[in-house]
Structure 1
Amino acid sequence: MKDSWDAAAAEGAAERELPLSQRMIKVLGNVCFSAFVLSVLVFTVIAVTYQPPDPWLDSPKAIISKSLAATLANATFHTDDSVLTTGEDLAPLPLSNATSAADATDNATSVADAADNDKSPDAADNENSPDAAGNSTSSDAAVILPTLPPPAADCDSDAPINCSDPRALAAIRRFNSRIFRRSIVFLGYETPVPGSAPGECDAAWRFRNRREKSWRRYRDYRRFRLASADNCTYEVVSAGKFRSGTNAAPKPPSPRRSSSPAPPAQIPDAEINDTIPTLGSESDFRKGKYLYYTRGGDYCKGMNQYLWSFLCALGEAQFLNRTFVMDLNICLAATYNPSGRNEEGKDFRYYFDFEHLKESASVVEESEFLRDWRRSERATSRKAGGKITVRKVPTYKVTPMQLKKDKSTIIWRQFDGQEPENYWYRVCEGRAAKFIQRPWQTIWKSKRLTNIVSEIAGKMDWDYDAVHVVRGEKARNKQLWPNLDADTSPEALVQKLTKVVPPWRNLYIATNEPFYNYFDKLRSHYKVHLLDDYKYLWGNTSEWFNETMTLNNGRPVEFDGYMRVAVDTEVLYRAKNRVETFNNLTRDCKDGINTC
């Protein structure tokens, strides 16, 4: 033991006798070796536990973003707010899991193909359809395929096709479920009727678009050519385009007898109910509580400011538990009009879904309210009774919290000051912002406009990609967007899009570029579609034209700039893959230089 201690002491003495520089080198070497061992250990742990993402499982949109990110290293990836969003764009999908719903339909199709040919995928066509309460009846549940009646033993394969035979509808269901399963949800079929030639059947159905976040329903009717298959079943040989089965279309009303020729009858959408609700009797009016805003500085401003202010007012009405008095007249800002002037007298129902608004919020139309107010005042002056009390609020600085306990029949906010003191949205600023929630879910785009959207998407068989090309004033402003003009030139668009969109796909271009032929170079690579290709959908023989003219007391309504942007936006949202200007096409920032 003594010898070991003496050896250790001798070694320590010898080490102390070494020069300081050698001792530092020895210590540094030990530290470096320890760091090396630690880094090898960390790398080994990461290599064992890390699982890289499988690129085959990425969504097409993710693949497009990655491809363009590699092409444009300096591109910014943010949502471009030049497209117009409303409540149905911000709300979650009505299905709890859109991918699961698509997979459920895929499973239904697989079962239908594997089963006997005399089975019909009714459940696949009706999966996830709302029940009477508007709820989803199934999301990931198993799909049950009811069987058809057994065919007769002596069936004749050469017999003519009978369109009313359940086997014809079963064949059409199977075909649609296979072709459109990732685009639309089928909600109900009608019995097919004969087409224009032997072997043709026209079938109609209701459907909902998977990429639309509301439960609104649309109609389609197509022409199918059927043939007899094995086991006395039918199969679809070919199918027509969107609304090609004219024999299955709704029948127009009987024409009125008149000496003058009438315009072609159009079928109105029976599901649109945007009539103005009435308040009822004079006593009902006195029982109510109302919030009334007079017209302020927001009038004739851009639609985004209009919505921001309108939803502030509606949010205050909900906070106060009152009915909001609503002016249906809108002044459309000059930026949406080719004339460059503000246009008054536009109807709220041209742009937004009034039926959904009045179902999801308590509102009353202004002229109806004022008429009942005057009638109630006259009735009160003739007899003793409850007087209609009015509290006038001359400034936005009186907060909603101060009005919460007010018992007046009418709270009348007046906006008579100078801009910006007379903006409606000032009511929701400051401390009130903690109490007032803007009810975005109440604002949907007009169903008359989304009917046009569905027809455009249907003409492309719901199978298309889209690119959003922003030009206009931004492309001309080289100080804020120095690269935008060049990055969205026809040559640049061809160079960039051919790297991420397969050739000869249907390519819808949502754009504010006014020159129709600007995108002609893309026609050598894609089936290009522009909004102006579908002018007949709002022309003077269209359903939209006749219905809006009815709203406008028989006067034609112009398809204005805001309507164009709304339709462009919705067609863009329904595309299978979407390429954005400031996300993908240009190095510029969407809000100008140095704002990325």
Structure 2
Amino acid sequence: MAIHPKSRLAKPRSSIFILTASIACIAVLYLVSCLVSVPASIQNVVPPNRHTLQDKYLYWGSRIDCPGKHCDSCEGLGHQESSLRCALEEALFLGRTFVMPSRLCINPIHNKKGILHQSGNMVSEEGWAANSCAMDSLYDLDFMSNTVPVILDNSKTWHHVLTTSMKLGSRGIAHVEGISRTDLQNQKIYSNLLLINRTASPLSWFMECKDRNNRSSIMLPYSFLPSMAAKKLRDAAEKIKAHLGDYDAIHVRRGDKIKTRKDRFGVDRSLHPHLDRDTRAEFILCRISKWVPRGRTLFIASNERTPGFFSPLSARYKLAYSSNYSSLLDPIIENNYQLFMVERFIMMGAKTFIRTFKEDDTDLSLTDDPKKNTKIWQIPVYSWEGGEGGNC
């Protein structure tokens, strides 16, 4: 009988003790969390992310090659990629996250539907209406961030970075122009800043990479951006590659590159005097015969829109074009840049890939005319010269 009163008295003491201990534990945990927690303003700037370089940022502008002479009109994808690659290289060099323009300008000259919408002897002259496209519709930014951390300039993170950098004043942001990346890295007035806002060369962004022709100084190879194609574009390319099987590929650039102008005597001249000749089917047949055996499947990517232009190649090869896969591509392709991203990914998977121009000395090419730095307008050549074509 004496046990029951003791048990009734023990319960209140036990409950009070447990409650007190719980409150004490919560208080201790709260104090510890306050001591070790990161300020909310910093958490907003740098959200949890697998990247480790997102505490400092590099911004070159809201549009590639702008401000500068390309603000009103933009160059083609290759030109813009050279500029973008230059900016990404600087971010990689500085250990900063690159703030990428959220949209990429599309030049109407490079946005014809062309070869993707051929029908019999007709070719569509229709162009895609858009004059720009979302950057993440071309590139897989998460995939890219494994090499160079990037965010878009329409993201919440970028908004937080801007807000915080303005609050920090001179400790938050610096506007720089004409300063080398080495100085930006080594001088503390720049290296400790949250944000560096660079005004790049008004000629083109890639002019900031003055050693771009020095292969040893290149941090990101030419193949970097082509390999970063958006996932839906890569998936489409992989399906086409699987259907093609074992294949070779050529990229035939004509269009804008074969343009001529008349000199003061009324004579046509060209910056690439052999290109029109070298990219015609009969000359291509002769050129590639030493690299591509008869009977091979040959995938052709080109901006040439004349129906049947490459048909003579079928005498030796099984020809394939992106237009053969329009049922797969039409639902996902919204502009010519996306189409070229797919075609380029396919060409990268070819056993033998032949470019129009050489990018480096090891490349196979359809022409020996140089691609860049050509300022001499010459009379075009449309036939074999000297001993050329003797083996064809």
- 2:60 maps to which residue? 293
How far is the alpha carbon of 1:503 from its aligned partner?
Answer: 3.9
Structure 2 residue aligned with 1:559, among 325, 328, 335?
Answer: 335
- 1:257 maps to which residue? none
Task: Determine the C-alpha separation between the residues in 1 that align with 2:323 and 2:293.
Answer: 24
Name the % identity.
25
Query: In structure 1, what residue type is equivalent to 2:174?
Result: K
- 2:136 maps to which residue? 349
| Deviation per residue, 1:489-548 (Å, 9 max, x gap) | 3444455656764443322222221123112233344321112111112223xxxx2xxx
State whether residues 327 and 366 of structure 1, in contact with CA within 8 Å, keep that contact through their aligned partners in structure 2. yes
Find the residue that maps to 1:572 and give its secondary structure: helix
- 1:516 matched to 2:315? The reply is no
- 1:210 maps to which residue? none
How far is the alpha carbon of 1:590 from its aligned partner?
Answer: 4.9
| TM-score of the pair, normalised by structure 1 | 0.41
Q: Map 1:242-261; keep pairs closer than 5 Å.
A: none
| Deviation per residue, 1:32-63 (Å, 9 max, x gap) | xxxxxxxxxxxxxxxxxxxxxxxxxxxxxxxx
Task: Determine the C-alpha separation between the residues in 2 that align with 1:488 and 1:320.
Answer: 42
Structure 1 residue aligned with 2:148, among 342, 361, 366?
Answer: 361
Task: Determine the C-alpha separation between the residues in 2 that align with 1:350 and 1:508.
Answer: 24
Query: In structure 1, what residue type is equivalent to 2:43?
Result: D
Q: Map 1:231-246; keep pairs closer than 5 Å.
A: none
How far is the alpha carbon of 1:387 from its aligned partner?
Answer: 7.8
**What is the Cα-based RMSD across aligned positions, in Å?**
4.2
State whether residues 294 and 414 of structure 1, in contact with CA within 8 Å, keep that contact through their aligned partners in structure 2. yes
Query: In structure 2, what residue type is equivalent to 1:348?
Result: M
How far is the alpha carbon of 1:329 from its aligned partner?
Answer: 1.7
State whether residues 391 and 408 of structure 1, in contact with CA within 8 Å, keep that contact through their aligned partners in structure 2. no
Task: Determine the C-alpha separation between the residues in 2 that align with 1:465 and 1:318.
Answer: 34
| TM-score of the pair, normalised by structure 2 | 0.58
- 1:531 maps to which residue? 322
Q: Map 1:460-475; keep pairs closer than 5 Å.
A: 460=244, 462-475=245-258
Query: In structure 1, what residue type is equivalent to 2:350?
Result: A
How far is the alpha carbon of 1:594 from its aligned partner?
Answer: 10
How far is the alpha carbon of 1:323 from its aligned partner?
Answer: 2.8
- 2:239 maps to which residue? 455
Find the residue that maps to 1:508 and give its secondary structure: strand
Structure 1 residues 329 and 438: alpha-carbon distance in aligned structure 2, compared to 1, 3 A threshold: farther
Task: Determine the C-alpha separation between the residues in 2 that align with 1:491 and 1:427.
Answer: 41
Task: Determine the C-alpha separation between the residues in 1 that align with 2:56 and 2:160.
Answer: 13
Query: In structure 2, what residue type is equivalent to 1:371?
Result: H
- 1:320 matched to 2:79? The reply is no
Query: In structure 2, what residue type is equivalent to 1:291?
Result: L
Q: Map 1:111-122; keep pairs closer than 5 Å.
A: none
Task: Determine the C-alpha separation between the residues in 1 that align with 2:207 and 2:365.
Answer: 36
Task: Determine the C-alpha separation between the residues in 2 that align with 1:439 and 1:522.
Answer: 36
- 1:571 matched to 2:346? The reply is yes
Structure 2 residue aligned with 1:336, among 81, 105, 110?
Answer: 110
Structure 1 residues 324 and 514: alpha-carbon distance in aligned structure 2, compared to 1, 3 A threshold: same
Query: In structure 1, what residue type is equivalent to 2:280?
Result: S
| Deviation per residue, 1:434-490 (Å, 9 max, x gap) | x98644486433132222222222112x22233333332334545344444344434
State whether residues 289 and 322 of structure 1, in contact with CA within 8 Å, keep that contact through their aligned partners in structure 2. yes
Task: Determine the C-alpha separation between the residues in 2 that align with 1:429 and 1:398.
Answer: 10
Structure 1 residues 320 and 538: alpha-carbon distance in aligned structure 2, compared to 1, 3 A threshold: same
Find the residue that maps to 2:305 and give its secondary structure: coil
Query: In structure 1, what residue type is equivalent to 2:41?
Result: E
Structure 1 residues 428 and 342: alpha-carbon distance in aligned structure 2, compared to 1, 3 A threshold: farther
Structure 1 residues 304 and 389: alpha-carbon distance in aligned structure 2, compared to 1, 3 A threshold: same
How far is the alpha carbon of 1:286 from its aligned partner?
Answer: 5.8
Find the residue that maps to 2:310 and give its secondary structure: helix
Query: In structure 2, what residue type is equivalent to 1:356?
Result: F
Task: Determine the C-alpha separation between the residues in 2 that align with 1:482 and 1:377.
Answer: 52
Q: Map 1:354-433; keep pairs closer than 5 Å.
A: 354-367=141-154, 368-373=156-161, 389-397=171-179, 400-402=182-184, 404=186, 405-406=188-189, 409-415=193-199, 419-420=202-203, 423-429=204-210
Structure 1 residues 425 and 341: alpha-carbon distance in aligned structure 2, compared to 1, 3 A threshold: farther
Structure 1 residues 572 and 439: alpha-carbon distance in aligned structure 2, compared to 1, 3 A threshold: closer
For these two proteins, the number of residue pairs brought into alignment is 288
Q: Map 1:490-501; keep pairs closer than 5 Å.
A: 490-494=281-285, 501=292
State whether residues 251 and 301 of structure 2, in contact with CA within 8 Å, keep that contact through their aligned partners in structure 1. yes
Larger relative contact order (Cα-Cα within 8 Å, sequence gap ≥ 6): 2
How far is the alpha carbon of 1:388 from its aligned partner?
Answer: 8.7
| Deviation per residue, 1:137-163 (Å, 9 max, x gap) | xxxxxxxxxxxxxxxxxxxxxxxxxxx
State whether residues 325 and 369 of structure 1, in contact with CA within 8 Å, keep that contact through their aligned partners in structure 2. no
* Bigger Rg, which one: 1
Task: Determine the C-alpha separation between the residues in 1 that align with 2:181 and 2:283.
Answer: 53
How far is the alpha carbon of 1:322 from its aligned partner?
Answer: 3.0
Structure 1 residues 427 and 467: alpha-carbon distance in aligned structure 2, compared to 1, 3 A threshold: closer
Query: In structure 2, what residue type is equivalent to 1:568?
Result: E
State whether residues 286 and 388 of structure 1, in contact with CA within 8 Å, keep that contact through their aligned partners in structure 2. no
Q: Map 1:54-93; keep pairs closer than 5 Å.
A: none
- 1:309 maps to which residue? 83
State whether residues 94 and 184 of structure 2, in contact with CA within 8 Å, keep that contact through their aligned partners in structure 1. no
State whether residues 296 and 317 of structure 2, in contact with CA within 8 Å, keep that contact through their aligned partners in structure 1. yes
Task: Determine the C-alpha separation between the residues in 2 that align with 1:579 and 1:424.
Answer: 28
Find the residue that maps to 1:575 and give its secondary structure: coil
Find the residue that maps to 2:202 and give its secondary structure: coil
Task: Determine the C-alpha separation between the residues in 1 that align with 2:197 and 2:253.
Answer: 39
Structure 1 residues 286 and 341: alpha-carbon distance in aligned structure 2, compared to 1, 3 A threshold: closer
Query: In structure 2, what residue type is equivalent to 1:570?
Result: F
